[in-house]
């Protein structure tokens, strides 16, 4: 290691020690930031800490869960893993994780889509997992075209990286087509059957990535994901290298057969959480795990022991009432959560918290692209409470969806508003990014967690 790098590593360690021992604060970003300031090539200098290689996970929705499940499964197979579990997914977060990790077999690293351009050229990972691309934070990220360009450019600067991408997402396949043309090897995962679900209201990417004609679908799983094809130019959902079939999704969880192209053994994977989007996350994690040498048995074992503690579908009990906390930070995320709530046959209430801090995106006009109308079902509207810095805007949105909602400032106030609703009925708390941690902390202080 060069002297400069060694100095950077030392500085990073000092910062981490300082943060943890003196300030008792998490050290997910700052050590990396300090060390990167000293050595901008730090990630390149640390990449050999992971002897077998590294896997980067990106995509608009599902990064943190996929990364954590994948890391846990590689550990379940007896290997050592470096991982940015806490979801610090910019360059500094990745550098911090590499700094803090011991020598390992694999590094499994979540990356923000736009940060791939800073991470991939340095890290030269074995695999880049691309989960999905949805409209998200237009004021920060710009339009999806820009996100796609960035990922293509990042892959071009890391020519050995294999792209493992969602074959059902035309936007991911748009990236894949361009990357393949530049020499990148591409593997695709997807759902190999019609789940018979109603399409979401505002699908992205109605038009072909290659020629601009309107795409058609043999079937659609959710949003723009499905068995798509272009009637005019042949831009088509590819043959799937990793496929989920016999998919079951209900409010108790998901299960599916995991099939690898060219292998006769088909194994069932199941989890007691999530909806359709979780099938994709788990399929991506299972595929990446298989590529890292994890067998399906170890993968399932990791899944059995996986209890999200990061506010993603995390369960709490407060004064006898089940409270389910989940992140929902863009239209597709919220639409998927609405599907999840509607699949729960019990009467249920929802508390929807929308902030507009920098990390959330300050422009929240996307809440008008969410299908809240589905909550105003035929048997009377579901009880919905609005919250967050933009709780008043959520209340207006709900009013025009036919739902009369009140505003609450926090979960305890929302629960007070439910005192006429029997405690056996659950409350779903859906928050966008910056509200997640404070809400999770409030719930942890109020009630008991799942495990």
145: contact with other proteins by CB under 8 A: yes
434: contact with other proteins by CB under 8 A: no
For residues 251 and 324, what is the distance between their CA atoms, to the nearest angstrom?
Answer: 12
Using the contact rule CB under 8 A, the part of the chain among 16-24, 173-181, 308-316, 357-365 near other proteins is: 357-365
In the chain, what is the straight-line distance between the N-terminal and C-terminal CA atoms, in Å? 43
| Sign for the pseudo-dihedral over CA of 205, 206, 212, 217 | positive
395: contact with other proteins by CB under 8 A: yes
Q: For residue 287, give every residue at least 6 positions away whose Cβ sits within 8 Å of its Cβ, in sequence order, or none.
A: 129, 164, 187, 189, 241, 242, 260
* Minimum gap (Å) between residue 60 Cβ and other proteins: 16
152: contact with other proteins by CB under 8 A: no
399: contact with other proteins by CB under 8 A: yes
Interacting residue with other proteins among 48, 103, 139, 297 (CB under 8 A): 139
Residue 197 or residue 407: which is nearer to other proteins going by CB? Answer: 407
368: contact with other proteins by CB under 8 A: yes
Residue 162 or residue 396: which is nearer to other proteins going by CB? Answer: 396
Using the contact rule CB under 8 A, the part of the chain among 25-33, 58-66, 147-155, 358-366 near other proteins is: 358-366
Interacting residue with other proteins among 185, 198, 400, 448 (CB under 8 A): 400
For residues 423 and 95, what is the distance between their CA atoms, to the nearest angstrom?
Answer: 45
Using the contact rule CB under 8 A, the part of the chain among 9-17, 53-61, 206-214, 240-248 near other proteins is: 206-214
What would the x/- binding string for other proteins be over residues 295 to 334, using CB under 8 A? Answer: ----------------------------------------
- CA distance to 57, 80, 246, per residue, from 193 (Å): 25, 36, 8
Interacting residue with other proteins among 218, 346, 362, 409 (CB under 8 A): 362
Using the contact rule CB under 8 A, the part of the chain among 135-143, 258-266, 313-321, 440-448 near other proteins is: 135-143
In three-state form (DSSP H/G/I as H, E/B as E, the rest C), the secondary structure along the chain is CCHHHHHHHHHHHHHHHHHHHHCCCCCCCHHHHHHHHHCCCHHHHHHHHEEEEEEEEECCCCHHHHHHHHHHHHHHCCCCEEECCCCCCCHHHHHHHHHHCCCEEEEEEECCHHHHHHHHHHHCCCEEEECCCCCCCHHHHCCHHHHHHHHHHHHHCCCCCEEEEECCCHHHHHHHHHHHHCCCCEEEEEECCCCCCCCCCCCCCCECCCCCCECEEEEEEECCEEEEECCCCCCECCCCCEEEEEEEEECCEEEEEEEECCCCCCEEEEECCCCHHHHHHHHHHHHHHHHCCCCHHHHHHHHHCCCCCCCCCEEEEECCEEEEEEECCCHHHHHHHHHHHHHCCCCCEEEEECCCCHHHCCCCHHHHHCCHHHHCCCCCCCEEEEECCCHHHHHHHHHHCCCCCEECCCHHHHHHCCCCCCCCCCEEEEECHHHHHHHHHHHHHHCEECC
* Minimum gap (Å) between residue 142 Cβ and other proteins: 9
Interacting residue with other proteins among 86, 295, 393, 444 (CB under 8 A): 393
* Minimum gap (Å) between residue 130 Cβ and other proteins: 21
Q: For residue 37, how many other CB atoms are within 10 A of its CB? A: 13
* Minimum gap (Å) between residue 199 Cβ and other proteins: 13
Residue 139 or residue 445: which is nearer to other proteins going by CB? Answer: 139
Interacting residue with other proteins among 369, 410, 413, 442 (CB under 8 A): 369
Of residues 44-73, which lie at the interface with other proteins (CB under 8 A)?
none
Residue 44 or residue 396: which is nearer to other proteins going by CB? Answer: 396
Residue 137 or residue 221: which is nearer to other proteins going by CB? Answer: 137
For residues 158 and 184, what is the distance between their CA atoms, to the nearest angstrom?
Answer: 9
* Minimum gap (Å) between residue 363 Cβ and other proteins: 5
Total chain residues near other proteins (CB under 8 A): 23
Interacting residue with other proteins among 160, 245, 252, 365 (CB under 8 A): 365
For residues 17 and 106, what is the distance between their CA atoms, to the nearest angstrom?
Answer: 24
Of residues 11-50, which lie at the interface with other proteins (CB under 8 A)?
none
Residue 197 or residue 202: which is nearer to other proteins going by CB? Answer: 202
Residue 393 or residue 444: which is nearer to other proteins going by CB? Answer: 393
Using the contact rule CB under 8 A, the part of the chain among 181-189, 302-310, 333-341, 387-395 near other proteins is: 387-395
216: contact with other proteins by CB under 8 A: no
Using the contact rule CB under 8 A, the part of the chain among 11-19, 126-134, 393-401, 419-427 near other proteins is: 393-401
For residues 319 and 284, what is the distance between their CA atoms, to the nearest angstrom?
Answer: 37
245: contact with other proteins by CB under 8 A: no
Interacting residue with other proteins among 363, 424, 445, 450 (CB under 8 A): 363
Residues that bind other proteins (CB under 8 A): 138-139, 143, 145, 202, 206, 212, 214, 362-369, 392-393, 395-397, 399-400
């Amino acid at each position: 290691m060069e002297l400069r790098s060694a100095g950077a590593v030392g500085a990073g360690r000092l910062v981490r020690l300082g943060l943890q021992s003196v300030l008792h604060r998490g050290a997910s970003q700052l050590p990396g930031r300090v060390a990167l300031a000293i050595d901008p090539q730090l990630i390149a200098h640390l990449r050999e800490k992971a002897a077998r290689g590294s896997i980067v996970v990106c995509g608009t929705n599902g990064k943190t869960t996929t990364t954590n499940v994948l890391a846990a499964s590689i550990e379940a197979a007896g290997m050592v893993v470096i991982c940015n579990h806490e979801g610090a997914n910019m360059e500094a977060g990745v550098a911090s994780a590499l700094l803090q990790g011991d020598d390992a077999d694999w590094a499994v690293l979540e990356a923000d889509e736009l940060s791939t351009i800073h991470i991939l050229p340095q890290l030269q990972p074995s695999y880049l997992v691309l989960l999905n691309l949805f409209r998200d934070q237009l004021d920060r990220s710009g339009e999806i075209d820009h996100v796609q360009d960035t990922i293509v450019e990042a892959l071009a600067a890391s020519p050995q990286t294999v792209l493992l991408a969602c074959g059902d997402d035309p936007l991911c396949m748009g990236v894949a087509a361009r990357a393949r043309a530049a020499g990148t090897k591409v593997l695709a995962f997807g759902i190999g059957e019609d789940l018979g679900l109603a399409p979401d209201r505002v699908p992205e990417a109605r038009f072909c990535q290659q020629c601009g004609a309107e795409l058609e679908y043999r079937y659609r799983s959710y949003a723009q994901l499905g068995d798509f094809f272009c009637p005019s130019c042949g831009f088509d959902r590819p043959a799937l290298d990793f496929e989920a079939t016999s998919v079951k999704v209900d409010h108790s969880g998901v299960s599916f057969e995991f099939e690898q192209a060219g292998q006769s053994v088909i194994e069932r994977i199941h989890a007691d959480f999530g909806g359709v989007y979780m099938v994709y996350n788990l399929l991506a994690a299972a595929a990446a795990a298989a590529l890292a040498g994890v067998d399906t048995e170890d993968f399932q074992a990791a899944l059995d022991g996986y209890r999200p503690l990061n506010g993603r579908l995390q369960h709490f009990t407060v004064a006898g009432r089940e409270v389910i906390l989940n992140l929902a930070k863009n239209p597709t995320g919220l639409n998927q959560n609405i599907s999840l709530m509607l699949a729960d046959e019990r009467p249920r209430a929802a508390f929807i918290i929308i902030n507009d801090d920098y990390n959330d995106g300050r422009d929240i006009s996307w809440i008008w692209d969410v299908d809240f109308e589905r909550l105003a079902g035929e048997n009377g509207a579901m009880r919905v409470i609005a919250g967050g810095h933009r709780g008043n805007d959520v209340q207006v949105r709900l009013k025009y969806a036919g739902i009369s909602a009140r505003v609450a400032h926090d979960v305890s106030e929302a629960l007070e508003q439910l005192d006429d609703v029997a405690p056996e009925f659950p409350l779903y708390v859906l928050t966008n990014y910056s509200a997640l941690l404070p809400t999770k902390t409030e719930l942890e202080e109020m009630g008991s967690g799942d495990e």
